[in-house]
A = this chain, B = another copy of it.
Amino acid sequence: MPASPAAPPFLPSRRLRDVRGSAIRDLLTLTARDDVLSLAGGLPAADQLPRERIAVAAERALRAAGSVQYGETAGLAGLREVVAAHESGRLRRPVTPAEVVITSGSQQALDLLARAVLDPGDAVVVEDPAYVGALQVFQAAGAVLHPVPVDAGGMDVDALAALLAGGLRPKLVHTVSSFHNPRGVTLAQDRRRRLAALAETYGFLVVEDDPYGLLAFDGRPPLPVAAHGAQVVRLGSVSKILAPALRVGWLLGPGAVCAAVERLKQCTDLCGSTLTQTIAADLLADHDWLAGHLDRLRAANRSRAAAFTAAVDEVFGSAVTRSTPAGGMFCWLEFPDGTDTDALLPRAVAHGVAFVPGSAFAVGPPRGSALRCCFVSYPEEVLRDAVRRLAAAAS
């Protein structure tokens, strides 16, 4: 019986060596202790996922023979129709199912898009701080990353324009346009218009990564960047509004982009799950139920965000500045005194609370005194307790 060998000497490939590990993921392992309140995760709250409604849809789906068979690579026709109708409302123009490819979460849409479009050495503009999953995808594709700062109005589009005027020619510009991960902010409408126009002037594609848009506390999702121009690929997902386990996301874009992504998906995993796509289509098409569910979800998140930010203000006062959540799941804190949040983390864990240090999201020079907190995972009183623990660790 042969023993397990050492790693083959050729492992890993160059593309994998270029992918930085997710500090967040390592962190989640570290902080998965019962006595630690974790504000580090990016998961929707388990008690808010509509499990009973999913069970009804599953039972209904499994009455049809086709529900357990292979499906079309571009996605279940019925789901593409529902998503197209939904995006028509979001974009205020008719969207056809041919503009939609269903993917395994929007993460797969991002990965397929990058692989369909990018050659090694290509320039990609990313936000700084950035969604780490996007950095990993672009690194795996061999792209050269160019960071653009994010401020209270979202991506600094002036800074992007300056890079472009200076000669940078990216193929893709990635933005989490609404309720930014990790920065908690939303791209201003005038910046959205300008970004879409720059894409047409300079011939790049905007990747509008929008998993949180429907989680606007006031129930009014911001008008997408894609409503302002045609050189925009939009990514959406049910993970934050229905359930991550459905693994249903989508890409909305020009026909040639969809065709390239579909072709690559064919050799990547053949197709998504007919079963979970049927369930997602059922829930998304059930308009009255969906409206009520989203109202409940937004109300809960709004209340939790209010409790969290009030506690931060009360406990830290001027020792911390923070974003003002208007939706989504994240709040971004900064210590004006330069407190090193990498060094703070182990002390915080010792005090029974975890967060993600800003350095985890940095593309350029790390923001050593910032941190990301998820405010949706716990009820209000637990969030207040978590903030008190954080203050104790920081004092």
Q: Hey, which bits of chain A sit against chain B, CB under 8 A?
A: 1-16, 19, 21-22, 25, 43-44, 46-47, 49, 51, 54-55, 58-59, 62, 65-71, 73, 93, 99, 103-105, 107-108, 111, 115-120, 122, 133, 136-137, 140, 171, 200, 203-205, 229-231, 239, 243-247, 254-257, 260, 263-264, 266-276
- Chain B residues contacting A47 (CB-CB under 8 Å) are 65
Contact yes or no, A12 B65, CB < 8 A = no
- Chain B residues contacting A200 (CB-CB under 8 Å) are 5
Contact yes or no, B2 A229, CB < 8 A = yes
Known: A8-B117, A137-B267, A140-B264. 8 other contacts (CB 8 A): A4-B254, A8-B205, A10-B171, A49-B69, A58-B275, A136-B266, A136-B267, A245-B273
C-alpha gap A394/B145 in the complex (Å): 57
Of B13, B117, B247, B267, the contact of A272 (CB 8 Å cutoff): B247
Contact yes or no, B11 A260, CB < 8 A = yes
- Chain B residues contacting A120 (CB-CB under 8 Å) are 120
Contact yes or no, B269 A115, CB < 8 A = no
- Chain B residues contacting A111 (CB-CB under 8 Å) are 267-269
Most buried by B among A13, A70, A120: A13
C-alpha gap A212/B111 in the complex (Å): 29
Of B15, B137, B255, B267, the contact of A119 (CB 8 Å cutoff): B15
Contact yes or no, B117 A70, CB < 8 A = no
- Chain B residues contacting A55 (CB-CB under 8 Å) are 58-59, 62
Contact yes or no, A65 B43, CB < 8 A = no
Residue of B with least CB distance to A56:
B62
Contact yes or no, B59 A269, CB < 8 A = no
| A357 nearest CB across to chain B (Å) | 19
Contact yes or no, A115 B15, CB < 8 A = yes
Contact yes or no, B13 A119, CB < 8 A = yes
| A358 nearest CB across to chain B (Å) | 20
- Chain B residues contacting A14 (CB-CB under 8 Å) are 119
C-alpha gap A51/B65 in the complex (Å): 7
- Chain B residues contacting A245 (CB-CB under 8 Å) are 67-71, 273-275
Given known A-B contacts A67-B51, A104-B104, A13 and B244 have beta carbons under 8 A apart:
no
Contact yes or no, B66 A62, CB < 8 A = no
Given known A-B contacts A70-B244, A140-B264, A245-B68, A273 and B273 have beta carbons under 8 A apart:
yes
- Chain B residues contacting A10 (CB-CB under 8 Å) are 117, 122, 171
C-alpha gap A252/B8 in the complex (Å): 15
C-alpha gap A4/B91 in the complex (Å): 13
| A244 nearest CB across to chain B (Å) | 4
Give 5 pairs: A residue, B residue, CB < 8 Å, sorted on A: A5-B231, A11-B257, A58-B62, A70-B244, A273-B273
Of B3, B105, B269, the contact of A270 (CB 8 Å cutoff): B105
| A292 nearest CB across to chain B (Å) | 18
| A60 nearest CB across to chain B (Å) | 10
| A100 nearest CB across to chain B (Å) | 13
